Structures are given as C-alpha cells and as structure tokens.
Amino acid sequence: MATENDRRSKDRRKRGRGTPSLPPQHVLSARQLFPRTMPFLPLTIFLCAASCTFVATAPIPLASALAFVASIVILLLGRFVYDAVIAREMASQIAGLFAAAFLPLLLVGIGLTVWGAERTLPGIYIGSSAAAIFAISAIYMRRHPMTIAGAQIALYGPMFFNNSIEHGLFGLVLAITLGLILSRQEMVDQAQLEENRAAQERINTRAQDILTDYEQTGQGWFWETDRRSLLTYVSPPVAEALRLKPHKLIGQPLTRLFDLADTGEEGERTLMFHLSARSAFSELSVRAAIVDEERWWSVSGRPLYDHFDNFIGFRGSGTDLTERKRSQENATRLARYDSLTGLANRFTMSQSLEKILSAPQASNRSCSVFLLDLDRFKQVNDTMGHPAGDVLLKQVSTRLQRTVGKMGQVGRLGGDEFKVIVPGRVERDKLAELGREIINSLSQPYTIEGQRVVIGASVGIAIAPDDGESSDDIIRNADLALYAAKDGGRGRYHFYSEDLHADAEARSQMEEDLRDALAKGQLEMFYQPVVSTSTENITGFEALMRWHHPVKGWISPHRFIESAEDTGMIQQLGEWALRQACEQLAEWPGEIRMAVNVSPLQFANPQLPSIVANAIASAGIKPSQLELEITETVFLQDSAATDAMFAALKNLGVRLALDDFGTGYSSLGYLKKAPFDKIKIDKSFVRGITEAGSRNAAIIASITSLAHSLGMETTAEGVETMDELDLVRVHGCSHVQGFIYERPLDAQQASERLASGLAAVARGPRCSRAPRQTMLRKVVLDHNGHLYNGTIRNISTTGAMIEGLWSVPVGTLFKVQLSQSYAVTCTTRWSEDDRMGVEFANALERDPSGRIAAIQAAAPAPIRKIVIGESV
C-alpha cells in the first residue's frame, strides 16, 4: 500500500513540475513571429515562375530555377522549424523566422533579380511576380507588421542592390524607415487586440482550467454517462488509478469503476436504485475496482435532461475517501479497543456482557466473568519505568489470549486490570482449571530490556445468572471475588460467594480505620528479642507494628499491613515505624541492634536511603545498630535499580537481612551479589522440624551451611518448643527468635527486660502438637452401638476437642462420624465437664490447599433419638 501511495505522489509531483509540452494555443498565437505553414505561398512562387517562363524570350536561368526550387522546399519544411523554435526563447524564434520565412523570400528575390539581369524577361513581369508573392506572404504575416517589413526587405533587397549599390542602399533604408513608421501603430493596435483576445479567452476557459487543475491535484474527479449509464467521460486520474487508458473506459458501465461486492449490500442497493430511478444521489461510499489495493470513493451525481425533458444520462463527481475512512476506522478501533495491547477495552467488554445478559432466550444468558489483577505490577512500573510497564502489559495480553483461546473473550479494563468473558454455562471445575492456567501462565518469568521480571495474578470469578442477572451485579461480584483472592495471599483464583459482601465492607472499614489510627496515634511498636544460640544473650530486637483498635481490640498485622500496601499507606507506616524504632534504640545499650522490616514498595522508593539516613541522624544512633529486613520479592525485577538501592543502603553503614528466606522466589544468584549480613529462616521450616520424615531439618542445615560459607549470620524464626530450639542450634543457626524466649514486648516491657540483664532463658513445652483449626462442627459418636451427638470445637490431623458428653472416662474408645462418608476411630485422652480431648487412631490427611480433607464434605445428620443408659 505504501509503495502505491509513493507512486501516486511521484506522479502528482511530476504533473506539478510539468512534462515538456507545447503551451496552450492562445499562448502560442501571442508568441509566434511567423505562421507554422504558408501552403499558398509555395504555390504562388511556382505559378509565378511558370508564367514568367512562358513570356520569357529565353529559358529560365539555372540559378533562378534553383533559387525558386530551394525557396519552395524551405517553405514546405517550415512547419518543422516552427515546431522546433516556437516554445524556445526569442533568439531561437528570430532564427527560425529568418530560416523559414525570410530565407525563401530572399531566394525568390535573388531568382527574379538574376532572371531580370539576363534581359530575357520584361521588368513588368518581374515586378508583378514580386508583388504577388509579397502580397501572399503579407497575408500570412499580418499579425506582425515588423515581419512583413522584413519579408519585403528580403524579397526586394536583391533587386535594389542589383540596379545600383547607392540606390539599392537608399531604397533599403527607405523601405526599413517606411516599414517602421507604418507598422508602429499597427503593432500597438495588434498588441492591444491580442491582449483583449487573450483576456477573453482566459475568461472563456477559466472554468475548464480550474476543473482541469482540480482533477490533476487528485482531490476529486468527474464523470458523465449516457441514458444507458455508459460512461461518456471520466477524469484521467480515475483511469490512472484503475490502471487503464481513459478511452478504454468510455462506453463501459459506470459500475465498472466500483467493486460493489466489497462495498456492501447497502451501498450497492443505493447506487443501483438511484441509477435505475434516475434520481440524484450524494456522497455514496463505494470501493474502487482496484486489484490488490483498498481505495474508497465518495460519489455524487444528478440526472441530465435535454430541452425537451428527455433523460440523457448522469453527470457527477467523486472524491477519494480512503484516508478519511482509515481515520474513521482508527477512531472506531480506538473507541472499542485498547490502543496499547489491541484487546477489547472496557466499553466493548461491557457491551459484550450486556449482549449476553439481555439475550431473548433465558438459556442464552449464561456466562462467566473473570476479573484479573496483576500482582507486583506497580513495583515494575516504579522501578523500571512506564515504558517497561507497557512492554510487560503487551506480553501479558499475548499470554492471556493464548491461554483463553477460543473459550472466551479477553479485554483490558485499564492499568493492570483485565477481564475475560466465557459465554455459555461452563462447569465450575473447567472454570477453576482455566483460572489456574491463567495464573500459571502469567506467573512465568518475563524478559524486559534484557532483565528478568516475575509478577503474578489474582483472579475473581462470577457466574451469571447464579451470581447476578445484570452486568453491574456480575462485575461487582467478580470484583469481590478478586479481592477475596488477593486477601487469600494473591496468586489465587476465587469464586464469588454471598459472604464476600461482608468481607468487602470489612475491608473498606479497615482502610478507613487504619487512616484514623495513623492520624490519632493508635499504632504502637512492639519488640521481640533476638537471642544468640552460642551465648544465650539478647543481641537485638525486631520491631513489630501492632494496632489496638478502640472497638475491635487487637488487629492482626497481616490484615492491616496488607490493607496499607493496597491503599499506598505503607510508605507512611514504614517511615513512622523506622523513626519510632530508631528513637527507642537510642535509649538502649549501644551493643543492641534493631531490625526493622522494609516492604517491597518502600524498597522501590528512591527516597528510602535519605529517609533511613534522616532517621539515624535524628535518633543519634550508630548506623551499624540498625538492621533492615528485606524480603525476596525485591529481586523479582532483577534490575539495575535494585542493585543501586542495595549499594546506597550499604553505603549508609546499616546492616541488611534477607527475611523469610526460602518462601518466595529463592535464587542463589542474588545471594552472590546482594550485600546481606544475615539470612532469616522462615518459621514454616522451623515448624514441623521434629516430626518424623520431615525434610525441614535438612533444609535448615543447608541454609546455615550456605550462610556460614558466605560470611552471613542466620536467625531461625518462630521457635516455640525446646525440641525445635535444640535442633536449630545443632544445625548451626547463630540466632533464634520466637516464643521459646520471649513474646513481643511493648517499649516499656522491652526496656525493663534489658534492665534486668541480657541473659535469656528458654521456657516452653518440650515438643509441639499439630496445628489446630477452630470450628463448630456437628458430629455423631458411636460407642458400642450407642450413638451420641457432639460438637467439635477444634481439630488437627491427630486429634480433636469434642463438646457434648459429660464425664467420659479417659481411655474410652469412640468411632466419630466426621462427615456423611467418613468416620475415624479415636481414644479419649482427657475429660473435663462436657468436654473431652481425643486422639485419632490414624492421622487425617490434608488436601493440596492444606485443609483437612475429611471435614470438607457435609457434616452428618444429628441423631433424633438418643439411647438413654448408664453414663459412660
């Protein structure tokens, strides 16, 4: 297409510069000094020569005959001289005048003079022949009096010179003088006449010239047909566009110019209707009949009638609509599709959903809506810039389209939000599978500007009409499901359920309360000791933020920290926590360190080094006393900005600790280049370390060995039992943090603890029990055929606490019906009032999500009739 446009542009420029050709006829007429042909002048010369031959007393002299023949030949060839000089400069035209007009007359004059000198031809015949020849030449040269004078001189000059040099010169001068005097006025009158005639001709041809220029610019064209709709005229640019000669189109139907098959049924019917009805039409859009090129024309026309009101055809015009149509198509595309990714935009996706939900038949109103939100996308934008973010969004859209395929429609709502509509009723398992595939596909690493980037995705799913019958309800409910997926830890999918409305209201209230807490000073810092395993002395504290709500009491840090990250308040909270921790550290002994958590959003802030430096300077502590704990997620971008941030923080002199090691995207590569002083082993590896068959001990041993080789300390988090403490100490952990030594303390308690000495004493149970889940679940207990109703208050994989039976002896065996299809044998281990603790004969299994599988099915129906007997 571009090549064809370039070709047309070159052609237009060529027409603009002008191809060498003759000027218009009226311009030539004004410029010519002699006529192109003088057909009767050679004939007159021949007749005069023949007549003189009959009356002469001797044959015509050879010189005269040659002169006459030469003059006739030159006059016959004069048209070629005219064509050669008429468009050239004045000097060339004067030379042509001498060659084509004066030279033949000069030869005639020489011929007559030579003949008269022989005394064989009376002078009267010589004079009459010269007069006849001059009269004919004067008629042809009447437009230019000076040319007539020159012709007279050329014809009579030889005669004057032959009679007498003196008289010849006198006669020549006299002839020139008389010619100038007589022709002066004639020249003025002739010039005025030519000017008036040229002006009138310009007026007469002005409209034609304007139309011709208009056609040549390519802005529009004209056409005309006869009564049978056959072309009688069409502008040359149209023929050129169709790659045909203009005369090839004459006599062809008007519709030959158009490709009505691609124009559309409406355009085809409209044009054919107007032609058959002989009615005027205006600006009909039709596609030009050009092979391998899409060009559109706007065509207008009106019928023509003669003086007797007889229809004689159509006459009309056309313009090129191609660029305008492309602009309209682009505007339409921008209005319906996302300019960055090419996916359907919010408006188009809303229309698609509305179309499904308003289908005439209720069976066709089923669909599923997926709302997607990219995890950690904002961090990519902040650290790598918006251009990198745009590249990432394009790659995400490509993966999303490939994953969804023909199953549904994919759209981008804006920012990092996407939407998928799956039409029809699809089984819930297939929707869940699609959700998993989307998350897995989008969570694979990306390469942007040569750097490795890892993000995630959370998905909320709502099904119509089960979860709503209007588009607003479906979108709102899918959005609630998305928030539930993000609250569940991100990188998950979640189906809508009724209880999500309460969660949404609670989340909104949480955000509002958190803003009030920050403004009113309701937040406070707690400090948990970090103990050296070799000396069992306190070496430092980890600063932990706590929030005591005036109505709801203590709020879990997991809940309000995540809310702060979602709302952007984490920057304010993080800076406040850093300053509070530094000020508190200034009141403690100089050998105590303080560990402060830094979120990925804080780490991405270029102002973080200056914030840390200001907090240290304001508190007056040594930089080495401050330890910043950073999670592995800061390495997801693997960018130069990450390395620069580490270097800037390290230049301040603070210590850096890698928090929650092994729970994220662990890579030994960043341990090699990141200047960490400590690795913190997540409590998920510590928990279960004492269980038979657990690999956690081997993992901890590997981590501590790696840290020791790299010159780094290690801290085991979440140590709660003596067995766990013994094992982490055996496997080489240099520090321990957990309830085994101390729970988090407020500022006053921490100061009092330090005042009592740095020695730490481990206090706690010898071993840990399996984690329990609190619930209220109705079960049925079977003891030797006697059935009892009971309620489970908490449960683990190894046992449960059951309420409902009084004074049960220790050691009593029961068969507990946990669900309608699952029962487990258990033994009573303790009993108090109506509660008892039981141990299962076989440990219960967990499903892939970590939940106890046996209690996921429906609870058994309670018994209606209780067998009354002796107390068990």
Which of 256-270, 321-335, 699-713, 777-791 shows the lowest per-residue confidence on average (mean pLDDT)? 256-270
Mean pLDDT score of the chain, rounded to an integer?
83
Tell me, rounded to whole angstroms, the distance of Cα 249 from its chain centroid: 44
What is the Cα–Cα distance from 497 to 492, expressed in whole angstroms? 15
Check if the beta carbon of residue 682 is closer than 8 Å to that of residue 660: yes
Q: Where are the beta strands (DSSP E) in 466-567?
A: 493-495, 523-532, 538-549, 553-555
Q: Where are the domains of the chain?
A: 13-193, 220-326, 337-498, 523-755, 773-855
Predicted local distance difference test score (pLDDT) of residue 666: 54
Q: pLDDT-derived band of residue 649, with 50, 70 and 90 as boundaries?
A: very high
Predicted local distance difference test score (pLDDT) of residue 186: 55
Mean pLDDT for the stretch of residues 154-179: 59
| Residue 163 scores a pLDDT above 90 | no
Mean pLDDT for the stretch of residues 636-656: 83
Among 653-657, 690-694, 721-725, which range has the highest average pLDDT? 653-657
For the domain 523-755, what is the CATH code?
3.20.20.450
| Residue 559 scores a pLDDT above 90 | no
Predicted local distance difference test score (pLDDT) of residue 164: 43
Q: pLDDT-derived band of residue 314, with 50, 70 and 90 as boundaries?
A: very high
Task: Tell which wins on pLDDT, 62 or 171.
Answer: 62
Tokens of 231: 């072309």
Structural element, H or E, at residue 834: none
What is the Cα–Cα distance from 267 to 108, expressed in whole angstroms? 73
Mean pLDDT for the stretch of residues 61-71: 88
Mean pLDDT for the stretch of residues 210-228: 79
Class of the domain covering 220-326: alpha beta
Predicted local distance difference test score (pLDDT) of residue 12: 41
Class of the domain covering 773-855: mainly beta
Mean pLDDT for the stretch of residues 713-723: 90
Q: Return the DSSP state at 719.
A: -
| Residue 422 scores a pLDDT above 70 | yes
Q: By three-state DSSP, how is residue 763 classified? A: coil
Cα–Cα distance list, 189 to 33, 144, 186 (Å): 16, 11, 5
Class of the domain covering 337-498: alpha beta
Check if the beta carbon of residue 107 is closer than 8 Å to that of residue 71: yes
Mean pLDDT for the stretch of residues 203-208: 68
Mean pLDDT for the stretch of residues 666-674: 67
Mean pLDDT for the stretch of residues 54-62: 86
> Is-same-fold flag (523-755; 773-855)?
no
Which of 21-25, 246-250, 375-379, 610-614 shows the lowest per-residue confidence on average (mean pLDDT)? 21-25
Task: Report which of 239, 382, 434, 103 is spatially closest to residue 95, judged by C-alpha positions.
Answer: 103
| Residue 872 scores a pLDDT above 60 | no
Predicted local distance difference test score (pLDDT) of residue 597: 93
Under 8 Å CB-to-CB from 487, ≥6 apart: which residues? Answer: 503, 507, 562
Give me the percent of the chain exceeding a pLDDT of 70. Answer: 85
Predicted local distance difference test score (pLDDT) of residue 857: 83
Mean pLDDT for the stretch of residues 38-42: 87
Cα–Cα distance list, 244 to 212, 602, 825 (Å): 19, 70, 95
Task: Report which of 565, 581, 502 is spatially closest to residue 747, judged by C-alpha positions.
Answer: 581
| Residue 543 scores a pLDDT above 90 | yes
Q: By three-state DSSP, how is residue 711 classified? A: coil
| Residue 695 scores a pLDDT above 90 | no
Task: Tell which wins on pLDDT, 247 or 737.
Answer: 737
Among 199-213, 676-690, 782-796, which range has the highest average pLDDT? 782-796
Check if the beta carbon of residue 750 is closer than 8 Å to that of residue 542: no
pLDDT tens, position by position, 837-847 = 999 998 888 87
Mean pLDDT for the stretch of residues 284-295: 83
pTM above 0.75, yes or no: no
Among 15-19, 631-635, 797-801, 859-863, which range has the highest average pLDDT? 797-801
Q: pLDDT-derived band of residue 176, with 50, 70 and 90 as boundaries?
A: low
Gyration radius (Cα) of the chain, Å? 53
Check if the beta carbon of residue 626 is closer than 8 Å to that of residue 612: yes
| Residue 23 scores a pLDDT above 60 | no
Check if the beta carbon of residue 715 is closer than 8 Å to that of residue 737: yes
Predicted local distance difference test score (pLDDT) of residue 122: 83
pLDDT tens, position by position, 737-774 = 999 999 999 999 999 999 999 999 988 877 666 677 88
